[in-house]
Structure 1
């Protein structure tokens, strides 16, 4: 067996892992980074995302940041236990620390550290700006790193190389090493050629993503998982080992294991994140040619996830967005169509139904019923929630309701993609993993998707931030907790 020794070993090279490694290095720790992918394909989901950040400036989180994260901290939480989190975190009862909900302390620390973390990332040459998004209507403010997630991975990897941090690429972490005193003392891994590796360390930081790339775990936890695929190539590397090894060592589970961040994509496309956010201006029908959801209950950025989950419930996990020539009235609508595949077009609804393989009579009846329910007056305001709603239609369409009657007609197929899984482990506000007994697991930290933070609806544009913030916090705390180097 091959052995390595260090102060801190980090698993994963996405934004969470690289932030953790550099933060630990800032604190003087000797760091080893273990990564399943080869160099150049590393970075997990971060490498492929545009990395939207729920910020109003580099220094400050969005105005709704804490409120939105606090809206759904968990389901049916015992109010007596939840109230106990109003005291000092170090004094919480063990039952409270192990409880599966997103604590006020975690949310508050997240919000407080978001700005300082982006400013820290700027020291590596990164820039953050308010750039165009695929959301024609929005409910909050966002920044993005110039160059997207790839810029994050490349800049932080270069910084790690400049500091001579050790990387073990094409190496899969498999289990934790537990010392006789109960602390975590490293991890066991396997090289690409099958050779075992043990990394002995004073702290382990698990930052290796969720389980969206693990078919067995997806089938175990998620309904209709067979119809779901990862949003991008990086997600296939996220196979849940970090979460599983923490649970095997006694970590408290957190987050909703049955849910994931859902995004509507064109299943024909092989692009990373071939998203389709144009459906508020058309109709969504299933394989039976029937509507099944309100396509436009509010701004698209705040509602697309819930709608995508309804798409997953349909036959074959599929739906189709039906549009007509009037979509050209929507300014810049093409930003909401991220696929590289063309629309399916036809000069009549019957021809469109044939091209889509839908029952023509059912599609015609669905559109006729919808057209009859559309308002005849009132202004169509595509760039704001306009209240232009159907009347007497079930399900209703609450905004942007206009008839579908002007050829040529066009359509796109839509399926559900998994951006990341929600289930993970519970951590303190310093990213220390909490055991099922409510005690901190000394020497073990988690960051990014390994942390179970979301329970119902994903709070948009917080995942990359979660990785950066808690990766940085984990690295700093792990470095402080490691023995000082000998003089």
Structure 2
């Protein structure tokens, strides 16, 4: 059936990206309709569950390494011709550069430039941002956080949206784009709470419906069967993100961007029911797979700089699980328990043998052999400094351990299981600096915008503490541009 009226802006998704778009357009005097797959108690996707860390020195300055970090993680084996072309003015870029899946420098520069004014805008609603302790024991960049986390952000923005007159349709899922004869997007085809289809007309549409971490079919398609079956969303909000926004845009000719075969990974305790039950103590012990073997350098860098790759490596192990084994010497590390957010305590024993026999499915004989070889390789020839890279290496092992290599010998012996959780997928849509979706030739698809996880800007390793900020910045840009030009 047809929706009764044409809205100025239709926003698909009610996380930080969608709500930022909606409120920005409402403040410009436009009518807005929001679609949300969940019921009212669960709205907000992943934003509801995150602490909303942001890569900023304070609420008016981005971190010094902000743009550099994106440049380091702009993709694999980039064509030098691309780099040369992208160094010039974007008005002169050929079509293949405009539509390339890498995070282009103008897009990241706009992101960096608009982060402070976006935070100032959020503060105008009474929201607060300031430094706060992070669960990681080390930090490789500056961070602030939203007080009250992502939940505070979406609840306040939803309140503002409703006050300004937004129509919110819960338990409603967009399944396809409506387009005119020239190809301009004019709304969506959606299913409502009763499962019946309805056409919702709009002068502009913002896709802010997340990635595809909640869709096993898309995960298998893009990440491969082995990885897909071993990973799960890090929190309940991820189960609502099933990729329809990305799919319908790609079907309409949108250019893909970001690394479709990868995702932002976090190491979690599979026994815990808590959202984001992370285990970050592994740099100070050894990681063993089911075969009782080490499979990665546990301390190539600080945990906050390497956990994406480490956790994806865990997903690639047999059954997608590993165990971090450490001993009583961890008590020398100040506040080490801060790096663990599981509500389930580690298994513990007074002897290593007593610990290993508790681990169902682990080859305990091989594990004993592996730890003995590790202990022999630990030189411990430099001062142990757990809060910075200390150079204490077990270099003769394959793989080596580059820092914090200390023998596992002091009771009590402890272990946590770890699996890889999927915070969000990297693959998404290519947008320009106004968050307009581009087609495969780098041209704007009229009437279509994207923001948040639905946009692809990540490759290689996640640029930490930028995802919520990405949603707010590009959501706001989308809402303002749509309100002022349609």
TM-score with structure 2 length normalisation? 0.97
Cα deviation per residue 1:246-292 (whole Å; 9 max; x = unaligned)?
00111011111110001100111111100111101111111111111
Q: Structure 1: how far apart are the matches of 2:327 and 2:74?
A: 41
**Residues of 2 paired with 1:90 and 1:474: CA distance?**
20
Partner of 1:235: 238
Deviations 1:369-426 (A, max 9, x none): 1111112432111111111112412211111111101112110000001000011110
**Structure 1: unaligned runs, 5 residues or longer:** 483-487
Taking the TM superposition and a 5 Å limit, the aligned residue runs for 1:447-462 are 447-462=451-466
Structure 1 position 342, deviation (Å): 1.4
**How big is the shift at 1:310?**
1.2
Q: 353, 357, 378: which is aligned to 1:374?
A: 378
Find the counterpart in structure 2 of residue 340 from structure 1: 343
CA distance in 1, matches of 2:71, 2:56: 17
- Specify which of 468, 477, 480 is matched with residue 484 of structure 2: 480
Q: Which residues of 2 match residues 50-61 of structure 1 at below 5 A?
A: 50-61=51-62
SS in 1 for 2:86: helix
Aligned partners of 2:382 and 2:391 also within 8 Å: no
> After superposition, where does 1:165-180 map in structure 2 within 5 Å?
165-180=166-181
Q: For residues 302-321 of structure 1, what are the structure 2 equivalents within 5 Å?
A: 302-321=305-324
> How far apart are the structure 1 equivalents of 2:382 and 2:77?
42
Task: Tell me how far 1:469 sits from its aligned partner.
Answer: 0.6
Does residue 148 of structure 1 match 2:149? yes
Residue 72 of structure 1 corresponds to 73
Looking at structure 2, the residues matched to 90 and 270 of structure 1 have their Cα atoms a distance apart, in angstroms, of 50
CA distance in 1, matches of 2:284, 2:336: 9
Q: Secondary structure at the match of 1:284?
A: strand
Asked if 1:291 is matched to 2:294, the reply is yes
Matches within 5 A, 1:196-345: 196-223=197-224, 224-345=227-348
In 2 relative to 1, CA 86–280 (structure 1 residues): closer, same or farther, beyond 3 Å?
Answer: same
Verify the 8 A CA contact 2:380 2:393 in the aligned structure 1. Answer: no
* Runs of 4+ with >4 A deviation: none
Q: Distance in 2 between matches of 1:340 and 1:182?
A: 51
Give how far 1:26 is off.
Answer: 2.0
Give how far 1:76 is off: 3.0
Measured in 1, the distance between the counterparts of 2:375 and 2:76 equals 39
Matches of 1:221 and 1:110 in 2, distance apart?
A: 27
Post-superposition Cα deviations, 1:27-76, rounded to whole Å, max 9, x if no partner, equal: 22111101101112100000001111111111111000000101122233
Q: 1:436 aligns with which of 435, 440, 448?
A: 440
- Which residue of structure 1 lines up, in the alignment, with residue 415 of structure 2? 411
Partner of 2:173, secondary structure, is strand
Equivalent position of 1:95 in the other structure:
96
Offset of 1:437 from its aligned partner?
Answer: 2.5
CA distance in 2, matches of 1:339, 1:376: 30
Q: Give the secondary-structure state (helix, strand or coil) at the position aligned to 2:358.
A: helix
Cα distance between partner residues in 2 of 1:86 and 1:23:
32
Q: Distance in 1 between matches of 2:78 and 2:367?
A: 44
What secondary structure sits across from 2:156 in the alignment? Answer: helix
Higher mean C-alpha displacement, 367-376 vs 295-304: 367-376
What is the rounded CA distance, in whole Å, between the counterparts of 2:287 and 2:484 in structure 1? 53
Counterpart check, 1:465 vs 2:469: yes
For 2:94 and 2:187, the matched residues in 1 are separated by: 28
Check if 1:361 corresponds to 2:397. no
Question: How far off its partner does 1:195 sit?
Answer: 2.3
Counterparts of 1:257 and 1:81 in 2: how far apart (Å)?
20
Structure 2: give runs of 5+ residues left out of the alignment. none
**Aligned match for 1:394, one of 386, 398, 420:** 398
Aligned residues of 1:285 and 1:292 also touching (Cα < 8 A) = yes
Which position in structure 1 is the counterpart of 2:139? 138
In structure 2, what is the Cα distance between the partners aligned to 1:472 and 1:349?
Answer: 54
Distance in 2 separating the partners of 1:407 and 1:182: 68
Cα distance in 2 for residues equivalent to 1:351 and 1:417: 29
Distance 2:44 2:293 in 1: 41
**Alpha-carbon displacement from aligned partner over 1:87-112 (angstroms, at most 9, x marks no partner):** 33344322221112110100100110
Which shifted more, 425-434 or 345-354?
Answer: 345-354
- Given that 2:382 and 2:390 are in contact with CA atoms closer than 8 Å, whether structure 1 keeps it comes out as no
Q: Which residue of 2 aligns with 1:485?
A: none
RMSD: 1.2
Maintained 8 Å contact 1:349/1:360: no
Cα distance, 1:299 vs. partner?
Answer: 1.3
1:40 partner SS:
helix
Q: Is the 8 A contact 1:179 1:185 kept in 2?
A: yes
Report the alpha carbon displacement of residue 124 of structure 1 after superposing the two structures with TM: 1.1
Report the Cα offset of residue 86 of structure 1. 3.0
Relative to 1, partners in 2 of residues 1:84 and 1:28: Cα closer, same or farther, differing over 3 Å?
farther
Q: What is the DSSP-based 3-state SS (H/G/I as helix, E as strand, rest coil) of the residue aligned with 1:201?
A: strand
The question of 1:107 aligning with 2:108 is answered yes
Partners of 2:374 and 2:78 in 1: CA distance: 41
Hey, what's the Cα distance between the residues in 1 that align with 2:194 and 2:395?
A: 64
In the TM superposition, residue 80 of structure 1 has moved relative to its aligned partner by: 2.7
